[in-house]
Structure 1
Amino acid sequence: MGEEVVIKLKNVSKCFKRYARPVDRLKEILLPGKTYAQEFWALRDVSFEVMKGETMGIIGRNGAGKSTLLQMICGTLTATSGEVQVNGRVAALLELGAGFNPEFTGRENVYMNGAIMGLSKQNVDERFDRVATFADIGDFIDQPVKTYSSGMYIRLAFASAIHVDPDILIVDEALSVGDMFFQAKCMARMKQMMDTGVTVLFVSHDSGSVKSLCRQAILLNHGQLVSWGPSDQVVENYFSMKVESEQSVIKSDQQNKDLIKQKKIIKLDDGLLDKQSFFVENTAFQKRASFQRIQNGKANFVNIQLLNDRGEEVSLVDYEEDVTLRMSIEIYEDIEELAFGYHIRDKNGTDIVYSDSVIEEKNLYDVKQGERYIIDWQFRASLIQGMYNIACVLSIPIVIQIGKVDFCDFIPLAVQFSMTPRKDSSLYGIVHWDNLVKIQNYQQQK
């Protein structure tokens, strides 16, 4: 990746004026110095840089200012204050309906889009067959765009955008309307463009896509830049912010310690006395766990360890080694139903393996204040060589069908480990699972 800055925003703000009545706009024009409008600041003092060849994710809730930001980078909106610098040809795929003339045919729109991007008719002629093949809308290419379905529209819009050889590609949520095969094709094409040094701004509510595609990300909230940095950390920040807006969360470490101290009435069963060491406060674990941890004070992870078959804590795991993920938890309130689970994530924060007690039908019921539990997950590690992180969650199910839960404890960085390579032959996927392979020798009867 080069060190050239291709997009730079410095203290950028955008204010829109809202008028209660149309006549108020006229009054403001005729009576300068007096305002009849209500101001709405879509963005306030946003500053960040995007380097050449970088893929930047942009996340935030609806109304956070994402679309306004993209339109200013594209040049379709001007900033109220601040400075926007863009170096290079920008191809943008924003909200559905923008960019094409609905009265023109698909073919005419492709040529119009090419002309807007500075391409000659000959340049577009050379690219047109590739655009049409990628869009794969058949004879509709010569029909007016107003007759297209949303899926056909986005197919042609994306195909047209990627074939103008842009320096910067901006993709909004528009891709979500395409079918699954087309979305996969778009993702593969975007990755090819990234490999050739195209700078990409990618806006999505799919945190998995942001973490897998983007090295950096920014988080917007109510028009302000909340977070800017590695994509996995920014996505976790977004998740924490979302949870905090939906449920009670203990933010301060001291608040957490004070609340737990008040509720901590531990009664060890005889059968757990020999395992009491698992509940001794582990300084290294607590330090790791503090990063963007979400807690509500009802139940808590005291320790989480990855163990080999001899019960030893490990950070290096051999391919197909049997390991145990051990969770030690304490209960601080009576809870009717408690669920728990884990995510194994790669170095980019992308979820590779997931399981929870709902899937395994192992939820805890009628747990009481003061109880302690040791939960062991035993599995065979069959992952490709690399660095991995395990995130762990403890929650109270509310509407499990839509994933609505009350997070008792969520730790994004609970355990880290490295996988050694497979010895006999390389693993070309991220994870391997057991297969039943049947081979039959079939000879055609003459």
Structure 2
Amino acid sequence: MKRRDFLTLSAGTGTAAALAACGSSGPSNSGGSGGAAGAASYWALSGQPSEPIRRAAIDRFNKANPSTQITGTYFANDAYKQKIKTALGAGEGPSIIFNWGGGGLKTYVEAGHVEDLTDWFAQNATVKDKIIPASFGAATVNGRIYARPVESVTPIVLFYNKRVFDQVGVQPPQTYGDILDLVPKFNAKGIAPFSLAGQSRWTNMMWVEFLLDRTAGSDVFNRVFAGEKNAWSDPAVLDSLTKVQDLVRADGFIKGFSSITADSSADQALLYTGKAAMMVHGSWSYGLQKANGGDFVSSGALGYMNFPPVDGGKGDPSNALGNPGQYLSISTKATPEQKEIAKKLFSTTLLEDEEIKGWVGAGYVPVLKGSETQLSTSPNADFLKFVYDTAVNAKLFAQSWDQALSPTASETLLDNIAKLFQLQISPQQWVDAMNGVIGK
């Protein structure tokens, strides 16, 4: 979802489209064969509020297709990323592969792990026509489609606790300068300015993404994505990284943030319990706070906005970052029967009204067209309209860096961002490390 029209965006125009696009062991019978005859396996993420919606979809499919079942297995976010990488490398992955598109999907394509779905979408135009076009950008590699966009549009936003703001007697920030002014005011009251699950690393990344975007716009990362040598050496990168470390030194984040994990939702709890005033996080956080925060959401105490502009920055303040969808691919190791089961799931259950209702009810904007009516009648209507408007008004909706880059570059990115936040490396050392993995 870039600016233009939310429902009619182009699926892919080079680099910009590519950017437009965020535990336990698997079952013993869920290898490349996908399980028993007549069954396909499906791996996806666990946790509220998304897991029940995913489970319900598989249950609906199995009920409607008793002779062609799908077996689902669910993993915590970070555990899944490692599990699926290992399983696919060993030829033991599931029949249906949950992923985030972008650089990770490109790696799967290059390794021959996933089916080319371009011809299938051409033969099933009614399926493709029901999906928001922009979501196909991150599903496309070298002009070919390798994944089915599913679930929801999830930009990253700035959440804040209105009760805490009222308590301290301050207003939500309109610029990054306002954020810096708020930091000492909250600290003086014993309230952390920002909650942050720093151990998960990708949560730190959202800060670097926004600060670079608001400082310099999208050009710098576009050059990185295109593989331009030393693209990270742009002065705007050093400026943004310095801003991050200045904020850390000013106690802008909750003490001990580097030991807090996103999978535990502890960062969400810090916000809704008033221990932290603000949090930069994906829009999926709304559903978590609604499910776990008592009356925090229902009472109107949760505030939200797009990340504010950086004073003097060149980036368009309407720009959005995050996930233009989630994705399902079909394993090349699956049997012909299992591949057909997956395609039937893609063309039936995931398009039905119950699917839309599930995501809207949990506080998400679905990737499917025709959801506007349900958005307006949802008890989450105000937030969903905000997400919708954020996507509609964005000049650019950029895919999260760790998803847009290859797994090799992404791991280096996340590792060095964690070190940056822990003040273990300098901005220049960060730049040098990242320049070393451009194009890898």
TM-score norm. by structure 2 comes to 0.24
> Which structure is higher in RCO with an 8 Å CA cutoff and minimum separation 6?
2
Larger Rg: 1
- Structure having the larger proportion of residues in helix: 2
TM-score norm. by structure 1 comes to 0.24
